[in-house]
Each structure stands twice: as C-alpha cells, then as structure tokens.
C-alpha cells in the first residue's frame, strides 16, 4: 500500500483546518432559521453553483468514476454524459421555478415548497417526503463518510472506524455551527480543489504519456483487453442500448430529484445570479467529468492493475496522487478527494435536518407554534447533530462500494422528488395531493423492491423506479384531481405568460 509522506500530510491537514475556520466564520452570520437553512439571500450565484456541483458529484466523481473508467474503459463516458448534461439542463430549466417558488411561498425547504404549492392540512404532505428524504439521505451521507474514511485508511493507515469517526465529526461540526452558509462556502472551496485535482493531475499524466513515444492512451487501453476502447464495452444490439440507457439514466436525478441540489436553486437571489450559475456549473461540470474519466483511463495505461487498485478500484485517485504527484501537491490533490465527499455529506445533513426541524417538528408536531429565533436555531442544530449521528451509524454498518450506495440511495430520492417537482412546476393545474403521495410511495418502493430482489443485475433500477414514480404521480392526479380544498387550479385565472 502506498502511503503519504510528511508534506502530503501537511497539505491535507491544512485543508481540514481551513474547513473548520470557514465553519466558525459562517456561524457568526447566522441569525435566523432562514439563514441557517437557505442563506437568507446573502449568497452569490457563482458560489451556489459551485456548491451545487461539488455536492452533486461528491466522492462519486473522484473515487467512483475513475474506478469505473479504470475497470471498463471509455464506455464509462455514458454515465458522465447523463450527469454532466443533466446538471446543465437542471440549471437552465429548473433553477428559475425553484427561485420564484421560494419567493412566492416563503418556503425555506424543498419539502416546504411542495407543501406550500399544494395547500392542504394533511400532515402526510410534509411527513411522507420527509421520511423518504431521511431514509435515503442516510444511505447517501453514510456513503460519503465511508469514502472519506477509506481515503484516510488507505493513505495514512488509520483504523477504518477512526477514519470514519474523524470525518463524520468534522463534517457534522461545521454544518452544525454555520448551517447552509458554512456548507455553501466550504463547498465552493471544495469545488475549486476538485477542479484542480481533476485538471492538474490528469493533465500532468497525459503530457508525460504524450512525451513517451513507446505508448499511447488508446493503444495502452487496447493492450489491456476487456473491450476498454469500445464505447459500448463490446456489447451489441439491445445489450448496447440498455448499457447506454443505464448511463444516461442519471439524467433523472436532475429533474428536481435531489433536495440538497434543489436548495441551492431556491437560494438564488435573482435572474442575473441564475445566469451566472448556469455558466459556472456548466464549465465546472465539463472540466471535472472529463478529468475523472481521463484519470481512470490513464491509471490503466500507466500503472496497469496494481494490487491496491485490484483490491479496491475506488482507490485509483489516491494511488495515482501518491505515485505520481509531488508530496505537497499530493496533499492538495488528496484534499480534493476529501472535499468531494465532504461537500455532499454536509449538504445532505443540512437538508435532512431542515426536513426534521422545519417540516416535521415546526409544521406538523407543533403546528406552526411561534418560537423565538434563538429557539428555532437551537432546534435546527439539534436536528443537524442527530442526522450526522445517524449518518455515521449508517457508514459503520455498510461495506458497499460508494458508487453503488450513491446509485441506489439517489434513485430512491429522484424517483419521488423528480416527478413531484417536474409536475408541480410544469403541469401544476393537473398535479394533485394524491399525485404527490403516489410519487413518494411508488418511486421509493420500486427502488427498494427492485434492488432487494436482485433485478438490478439485469437492468439498473435507475431505468425502472423514476418512470414508475412519474406514472404513479400522473395516474393518481388524473384519478383524484385537485379539489377546492387542496388548491384547485381551475378556480384561479390562468397565469399570464411573459
């Protein structure tokens, strides 16, 4: 096992200290619950875009994608096409409705936005989405803690449990202190580190490869076998179509399907910030996705199949950093790997705690009882601490690959939230309370059953659960349309288009 030198350790530890400093600074600008959960319109569009992209791609981009590319070759590109262009589509199409919906309703959580746009006294409108959020985010948060602990274990030889514990405590602590602003600003810094990691390292390695006349990227991949130069991994006909569809199916998550990404778009201040965010998110996504794919391919060509990567393919990035990068730079690049994990975990902790504190405790259990800002913040921080603790427990009890955990947990979320927000924004007149309930039952249930029965080995659940969620939401809304008690759209004059 390749381990870090003293200068690499200094670079990595320095980054972790900086994260703590940012969390402490952000805690001083938190005055209200709106500040804690949505930033209080104090955050610029470029920072929200970097935060959304880094938290959306996470340890999956720096650990999962290079490992996937190392294992299967250029056919891994279809996953990145789905995620990268899905993210661009999301910012162009969904950011405005989220921003305007928040201003219209005063909601400070994605679930609150759903509930306010579908007025109803039924607690299930808030409780059911909150339960789905909590269940699947715990798998997601656990996956990020697992990724961070894995890096500390492999690089520094730290006991796996202690590595998990250290990362979980750090992420929960700065999320607890600074809430959404701390998360956004640390995410923005982490996004820049991820960008450096996935541009500098693959670029440096690619230049060295070009300078060596005895080998080439595609020639090295061809020599490694396994159809690694094929866009379809050697598949033909229907098998190739299913394979491509499985990669492109990641697009579903960007149809309003992830609450922690939706919160960034809700926090956008105005249309100018939204347009800036579109450009920043697009450029960042294209550069980092290309770098992650290239890094995995270069690892296969330059280093073959070393024991460290054979034992765990998600160690491609740490292995390549420690093998090829100078010590101090290596510390910065490894910080990028931890940054990816932390930027997702912190975002999900804050969104899950907002669901617990705002949507369940405040709106359902205490029935909008008035609290002082100080008490509201205390409740919010207690919820954040509890969510972090459950995420840690999830990480300790699981040993699955980060890529797999993200895939299944993510599908459970976007098979429910995707149909709900898509229909709410673009077919609001025909989307009812029954449709929302159906989406949040059918989508997650299909995810759990499909995975539990082992059918994902035949067709990925990402091609199954989201369509089921959409069909259920549309069907239930047709069978049980809106009534005057639940916001009958036909009772209102149609909105004038600009």
Least confidently predicted of 198-212, 240-254, 328-342, 466-480? 328-342
CB neighbourhood size of 81 (10 A): 15
For residues 408-415, average pLDDT: 86
Q: Provide the pLDDT for residue 186.
A: 83
At residue 121 the predicted structure's pLDDT band, cuts being 50, 70 and 90, is: confident
Q: Is the pLDDT of residue 488 over 50?
A: no
Highest mean pLDDT among 143-152, 269-278, 327-336: 269-278
Percentages helix, strand, coil for the chain (3-state, rounded to 5) are 80, 0, 20
Distance from C-alpha of 120 to C-alpha of 99, rounded to nearest angstrom: 22
Q: Is the pLDDT of residue 16 over 80?
A: no
Torsions phi, psi for 297 (to 5 deg): -65, -40
Q: Give the closest residue to 125 by CA, choosing from 380, 487, 387, 422.
A: 487
Task: Give pTM, 2 decimals.
Answer: 0.82
- Spatial contact of 342 and 19, defined as CB atoms under 8 Å apart: yes
360-392 pLDDT per residue, tens: 877 777 776 766 667 767 777 787 788 888 878
For residues 84-97, average pLDDT: 94
Fold of 6-484: Sodium/glucose cotransporter (1.20.1730)
Average pLDDT, the chain: 82
- Torsion sign (Cα): 474, 128, 86, 458: negative
293-313 pLDDT per residue, tens: 999 999 999 988 888 888 888
Decide: residue 44, CB within 10 A, 0-12 exposed, 13-18 middle, 19+ buried.
middle
For residues 191-220, average pLDDT: 87
Which of 477 and 452 is assigned the larger pLDDT? 477
Distance from C-alpha of 47 to C-alpha of 270, rounded to nearest angstrom: 14
At residue 487 the predicted structure's pLDDT band, cuts being 50, 70 and 90, is: very low
Q: Provide the pLDDT for residue 208.
A: 85
At residue 171 the predicted structure's pLDDT band, cuts being 50, 70 and 90, is: confident
Structure tokens at 209: 């490869």
What is the separation, in whole angstroms, between the first and last Cα of the chain?
A: 61
For residues 177-191, average pLDDT: 82
Q: What percent of the chain has pLDDT over 90?
A: 32
Distance from C-alpha of 449 to C-alpha of 444, rounded to nearest angstrom: 9
At residue 339 the predicted structure's pLDDT band, cuts being 50, 70 and 90, is: low
Length of the chain as a residue count: 498
For residues 462-475, average pLDDT: 94
443-464 pLDDT per residue, tens: 999 998 998 888 888 888 888 9
Q: Give the closest residue to 233 by CA, choosing from 340, 49, 74.
A: 74
Q: Is the pLDDT of residue 203 over 70?
A: yes
At residue 407 the predicted structure's pLDDT band, cuts being 50, 70 and 90, is: low
For residues 85-92, average pLDDT: 93
- Spatial contact of 353 and 386, defined as CB atoms under 8 Å apart: yes
Least confidently predicted of 258-267, 268-277, 318-327, 373-382? 373-382
Decide: residue 457, CB within 10 A, 0-12 exposed, 13-18 middle, 19+ buried.
exposed
Distance from C-alpha of 111 to C-alpha of 496, rounded to nearest angstrom: 26
Q: Is the pLDDT of residue 497 over 60?
A: no
Q: Provide the pLDDT for residue 279.
A: 97
Q: Provide the pLDDT for residue 496.
A: 40
Q: Is the pLDDT of residue 490 over 60?
A: no
At residue 284 the predicted structure's pLDDT band, cuts being 50, 70 and 90, is: very high
For residues 220-234, average pLDDT: 89
């Amino acid at each position: 096992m390749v381990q870090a030198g003293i200068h690499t350790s200094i670079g990595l530890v320095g980054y972790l200290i900086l994260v703590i400093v940012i969390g402490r600074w952000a805690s001083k600008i938190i005055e209200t619950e709106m500040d804690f959960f949505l930033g209080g319109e104090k955050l610029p569009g470029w920072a929200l875009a970097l935060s959304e992209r880094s938290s959306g791609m996470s340890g999956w981009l720096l650990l999962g994608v290079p490992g996937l590319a190392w294992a299967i070759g250029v056919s891994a590109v279809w996953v990145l096409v789905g995620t990268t262009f899905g993210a661009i589509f999301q910012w162009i199409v969904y950011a405005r409705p989220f921003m305007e919906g928040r201003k219209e309703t005063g909601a400070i959580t994605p679930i609150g936005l759903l509930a306010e746009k579908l007025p109803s006294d039924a607690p299930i409108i808030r409780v059911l989405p909150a339960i789905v959020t909590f269940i699947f985010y715990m798998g997601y948060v656990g996956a990020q803690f697992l990724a961070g602990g894995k890096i500390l274990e492999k690089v520094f030889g730290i006991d796996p449990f202690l590595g998990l514990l250290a990362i979980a405590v750090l992420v929960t602590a700065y999320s607890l202190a600074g809430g959404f602003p701390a998360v956004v600003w640390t995410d923005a810094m982490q996004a820049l580190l991820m960008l450096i990691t996935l541009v500098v390292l693959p670029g440096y390695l690619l230049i060295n490869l070009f300078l060596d006349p005895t080998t080439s990227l595609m020639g090295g991949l061809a020599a490694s076998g396994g159809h690694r130069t094929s866009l379809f991994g050697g598949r033909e006909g229907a098998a190739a179509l299913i394979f491509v569809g499985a990669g492109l199916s990641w697009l579903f998550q960007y149809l309003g399907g992830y609450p922690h990404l939706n919160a960034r778009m809700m926090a956008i201040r105005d249309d100018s910030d939204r347009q800036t965010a579109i450009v920043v998110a697009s450029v960042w996504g294209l550069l980092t996705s290309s770098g992650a794919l290239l890094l995995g391919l270069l690892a296969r060509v330059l280093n073959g199949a070393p024991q460290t990567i054979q034992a765990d393919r998600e160690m491609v990035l740490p292995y390549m950093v420690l093998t090829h990068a100078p010590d101090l730079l290596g510390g910065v690049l490894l910080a990028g790997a931890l940054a990816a994990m932390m930027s997702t975990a912190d975002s999900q902790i804050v969104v899950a705690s907002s669901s617990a504190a705002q949507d369940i405790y405040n709106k359902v259990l205490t029935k909008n009882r008035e609290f002082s800002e100080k008490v509201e913040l205390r409740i919010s921080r207690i919820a954040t601490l509890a969510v972090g603790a459950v995420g840690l427990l999830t990480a300790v009890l699981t040993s699955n690959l980060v890529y797999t955990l993200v895939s299944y947990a993510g599908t459970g979320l976007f098979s429910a939230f995707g149909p709900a927000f898509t229909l709410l924004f673009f077919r609001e007149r025909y989307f009812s309370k029954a449709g929302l309930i159906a989406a949040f039952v059918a989508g997650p249930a299909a995810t759990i059953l499909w995975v539990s029965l082992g059918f994902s080995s035949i067709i990925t659940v990402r091609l199954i659960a989201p369509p089921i969620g959409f069909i259920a939401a549309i069907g239930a809304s047709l069978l049980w349309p809106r009534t005057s008690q639940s916001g009958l759209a036909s009772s209102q004059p149609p909105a004038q288009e600009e």
